[in-house]
Amino acid sequence: MNERIRHLLPNDRMKIFQQEPFYEDTETVLTLLYQPLISMKGVAVFQALWKESRFQQPQTSISHHQMMNTLNITLDEFYEARKKLEAIGLLHSFKEEGTYRTLYYMLQKPFSAKGFFEDPMLSVLLEHHIGRDSFYRLKKRLLTPAQLPNNVQSVTHSFDDVFTTIYPENNPNPEQETKTKEEPLAIKTKLPLDWLHKMLKQQSINPKQVLTHSNIEYIEKLIKIYDVDDLELEKAIIWAVNEDQVFDRKEFQDMCKDIFYKKHGSVPPRLYSNNQTQAQAPSEEQTKNESSEEAEPKTKEEQLIQHFNTITHRELLEDLSASGKASVKEVDMITTMMEEHGLTQSVMNVLVDYVLKRNGNKLSKNYLETIAAHWSREGITNAKEAMQIAKREHHMYETWKKKKSQNQKKKQGSKEVLPKWFEEERQNKKASAAQPKQTSNEDVQKKREELEAFIKSYSKTKS
């Protein structure tokens, strides 16, 4: 509020100008594309200024108090919305001091839907704000071209069919035209272009092929979104240049994402006002805790935690790969999963390492997502917590596996099913074992009878 009082008061006058007509789809673009970035109040202020500019006379002005009443908002809310419009490129403000202060508001032309999605900075920010699925669904709705039947033929006349060429004496010098076209435009950028040129030459990469005007613009916008410094930029650019020395924008963005998540956790980059970031600055106690956590590791577990805290999942997969390269599909899958479930980079690293060890070095999407959803519900936020829950789950799995094998052995022992041939063989053995005993008994009885008969005959002869 103190800042607003120094720069804006209710009695300050305003004059609004629209320098060029807006696109036909401006209302749709403001509501669906700009609003998630600058809020509903930001769009409402822009639309109110736009409507007012149509009816305001050149020499007339209105007070900010009148605009506040029109929008039913406070002056602080108007000032915050105005700053967002200026930052996003929809408004330029100028001040004139006199007997009373006058603000001149120059409305800038919003992008068309096509231009918005082609702008790397705005499109990336919108995707992070509304989510990937909603982003692509919205893009499909707004950019679906008109489709003609397959059997139509073009009957459009070309320029040469309708017009003749101009006379030679009126034709400007073609050499002069080509010279003016070939003159390079001065590129305004904050990037260290000289250093980047040297770095690319050292890597045997043609810098002119990579550092084109459009690529420099793209790089500058993305490093602002993903908070990439110069050393990280070198790594990201080298990663994005393919074998044909072509700069792959998708690969560059993925690398910038990895850098951002490594530094700031799993929350994707979004637009925050400076007041919010100052209010959410960490306290002294938090910084002390963080510094104590970053002390030199002593045990193997601490070393492993530090390792997971200082790498990205791309680097983890590269370390585990024999070729030293990570699968692009796997990296994209992990990045998307990390964003959807809100897991930090270190937690995701532990999860990937755990799944690879448990699943024979295979990354199963369903298995990975099941554990990611579970850890997200458990509120796992750092590598130490992730390793603890991974150990606990592994121990539970091993215990369950052991009990299962024991139960199976008990069942096999109590209900042992023997084959039919084995039963028959056992019965035959019993019969053969019993048969000699029977024969021996019969022999004994026979001998006994013979002995009795002999005794009787002997006694008769004696008498």
Tokens of 125: 């920010």
3-state secondary structure of 96: strand
| Domain span at 441 | 428-458
Question: Tens-of-pLDDT digits for all 463 residues of the chain?
Answer: 677 888 888 899 999 999 889 999 999 999 999 999 999 999 999 999 999 998 887 778 899 999 999 999 999 999 999 999 999 999 999 999 888 889 999 999 999 999 999 998 999 999 989 888 899 999 999 988 778 888 888 888 877 677 755 555 555 554 544 444 444 445 677 788 888 888 888 888 888 888 888 888 889 888 888 888 888 888 888 888 888 888 988 888 888 888 887 777 767 777 777 665 555 544 444 444 444 445 566 788 888 888 888 888 888 888 888 887 788 888 888 888 887 888 888 888 898 888 888 888 888 888 888 888 888 888 888 888 888 888 888 777 777 777 777 777 666 655 555 566 666 777 777 776 666 555 566 777 777 777 777 777 766 665 5
Residues 375 and 351 sit within 8 Å (Cβ to Cβ): yes
User: Is 359:320 a contact under the CB 8 Å cutoff?
Assistant: no
Q: Domain for residue 120, yes or no?
A: no
User: Which residues make beta-bridge pairs with 105?
Assistant: 16, 93
Structural domain includes residue 367: yes
Residue type, 109: K
Give domain status of residue 360, yes or no: yes
Amino acid symbol at 151:
N
Domain for residue 247, yes or no? no
R_g (Cα) of the chain, nearest Å:
41
Of the candidates 58, 81, 112, which is a domain's last residue? 112
Question: How many other C-beta atoms lie within 10 A of the C-beta of residue 337?
Answer: 20
Same domain, yes or no: 343 and 385:
yes
Instruction: Give domain status of residue 286, yes or no.
Output: no
One-letter amino acid at 105 equals Y
How many structural domains are present in the chain?
Answer: 3
Q: Is residue 96 part of a domain?
A: yes
Evaluate the CA torsion angle 278, 283, 286, 292 in order and state its sign: positive
Same domain, 55 and 6: yes
User: What's this model's pTM, rounded to 2 decimal places?
Assistant: 0.58
The answer on 108 and 6 residing in a single domain is: yes
C-beta separation of 48 from 71 below 8 A: yes
Element (H, E) at 178: helix 174-182
Residues 6 and 62 both lie in one domain: yes
Neighbours of 315 (CB within 10 A): 14
Same domain? For 38 and 88 the reply is yes
Q: Do 447 and 383 share a structural domain? A: no
Q: 59 and 88 in one domain?
A: yes
Cα 322 to Cα 259: distance, rounded to the nearest angstrom: 23
State the burial class of residue 441 (Cβ atoms within 10 Å of its Cβ: 0-12, 13-18, 19+).
exposed
Q: Which of 74, 93, 112 delimits the end of a domain? A: 112
Q: Which residues contact 356 (CB under 8 A, 6 or more apart)?
A: 320, 362, 363
Q: Do 400 and 362 sit in the same domain of this protein? A: yes
What DSSP element (H or E) covers 92? strand 91-96
> Which pairing describes strands 102-107 and 62-63: parallel, antiparallel, or unpaired?
unpaired
Distance of CA 206 to the CA centre of its chain: 30
| Three-state SS at 15 | strand
| Contact indicator for 262, 345 with CB cutoff of 8 Å | yes
Any domain includes 62: yes
User: Are both 377 and 446 inside the same structural domain?
Assistant: no
Residue 83: which CATH number? 1.10.10.10
Q: 444 and 393 in one domain?
A: no
User: Are 342 and 307 part of one and the same domain?
Assistant: yes
- On whether residue 24 sits in a domain, the answer given is yes
**CA dihedral over 129, 133, 135, 137, signed as positive or negative:** negative
- And the tokens for 373? 């959803």
